[in-house]
Structure 1
């Protein structure tokens, strides 16, 4: 028998058959300045922009980013790439409301100050020490370095809007928690 789920109060013992094929596709962050955010996510974290969708009548743009494997065949045509994008896992959607980049009062709540809500997104890296050196070389702002605090081997960095990004190395995570 294969693993189904850890068991806690409220957790369904088995995923309902009606949910077969459901897939977590993306999470969305609002960004003030798309140029700064796209530079951060594409350069510092290596993400690629899969698709941009503009909604002129509502004055906003959506940027869908991912870190596809080099051997993945991503459709070249826009319609095919849009379909492909919405069938994937782990997509980051950056939403830009037009004009915020020029508004000195525009900012978004990071979810970690009061009142708390949204916490962070997470990137798994193959080598945490090399990732930290890369972040240092690119003047990335830290919330927490891996050697700080009680939870070692986990870093938190900030993106241009102040959103927290957890950085982990999978094999180092195996020894964390109960």
Structure 2
């Protein structure tokens, strides 16, 4: 690997101790797992790799991935758990039991004040086709590709109100210039 990353004040050289570290997943808390699983599986084609239940603490974790054709996912639950925690780019949906029955319950999306968490992002091979797919599935848009100052970048909401950025990598060569 010849590219060593862009350098800015505060960036430090990786140490030997961090060799092999990788970002495995991002977690979102969801009110109703059935609705969230329907959204991420239907709209983004993700599959549940593993569900882990923690009865004493009353919550469940759902690990979702967008599988590639050559992915070899183990059938055995324990082996699949190990496989899941060795992947890149998974989405963990955490369901605290009982929230689905609370009509007025909602999680903070991080974009209202006070701001914090912002969004997750999916890249797609064809942004125009993705926009048409989102429209066909009544997905709520925050920003379409022709709106705002950042063209060719889409923001939609999932069923819990979390923002999802959607991009086509080939359209972003001049982004931020």
Q: Does 1:137 align with 2:132?
A: no
Query: Following the alignment from structure 2 to structure 1, what is the Cα–Cα distance between the partners of residues 42 and 84?
Result: 20
How far 1:71 sits from its partner (Å)?
A: 1.5
Q: Distance in 1 between matches of 2:174 and 2:83?
A: 35
Question: How much has 1:119 moved relative to structure 2?
Answer: 0.1
Distance 1:27 1:161 in 2: 15
Aligned equivalent of 1:72: 71
Structure 2 equivalent of residue 26 of structure 1: 25
Where does residue 2 of structure 2 map in the other structure?
2
How far is 1:104 from its partner? 1.2
What secondary structure does 1:43 align onto?
Answer: helix
TM-score, normalization: structure 2?
A: 0.98
Deviation at 1:161, TM superposition (A): 0.3
TM-score for both structures, normalised by structure 1: 0.98
Alignment partner of 1:76: what SS?
coil
In the alignment, the residues of structure 1 paired with residue 8 and residue 92 of structure 2 have an alpha-carbon distance, to the nearest angstrom, of: 31
Once the two structures are TM-superposed, the CA of residue 35 in structure 1 deviates from its matched residue by 0.4
Query: Per the alignment, in what secondary structure is the counterpart of residue 94 of structure 2?
Result: strand
Deviations 1:43-73 (A, max 9, x none): 0011010000000001100000010102211
After TM superposition, give the deviation of residue 28 of structure 1 in Å. 0.4
After TM superposition, the structure 1 = structure 2 runs for residues 24-173 of structure 1, keeping only pairs within 5 Å, are 24-173=23-172
Gaps of 5+ in 2: none
CA distance in 2 between counterparts of 1:144 and 1:89 reads 27
Aligned with 2:48: secondary structure? strand
Cα displacement (A) at 1:128: 0.3
Gaps of 5+ in 1: none
Structure 1 residue 136, shift from structure 2 partner? 0.4
Distance 1:95 1:66 in 2: 15
Aligned mates of 1:171, 1:15 — CA distance in 2: 29
CA distance in 1, matches of 2:21, 2:175: 29
Take 1:119 and 1:74, find their aligned partners in 2: how far apart are those partners? 31
How far the C-alpha of 1:114 sits from its partner, in A, is 0.2
When the two structures are aligned, how many residues end up with a matched partner? Answer: 177
The 3-state SS of whatever aligns with 2:49 is strand
SS at match of 1:73: coil
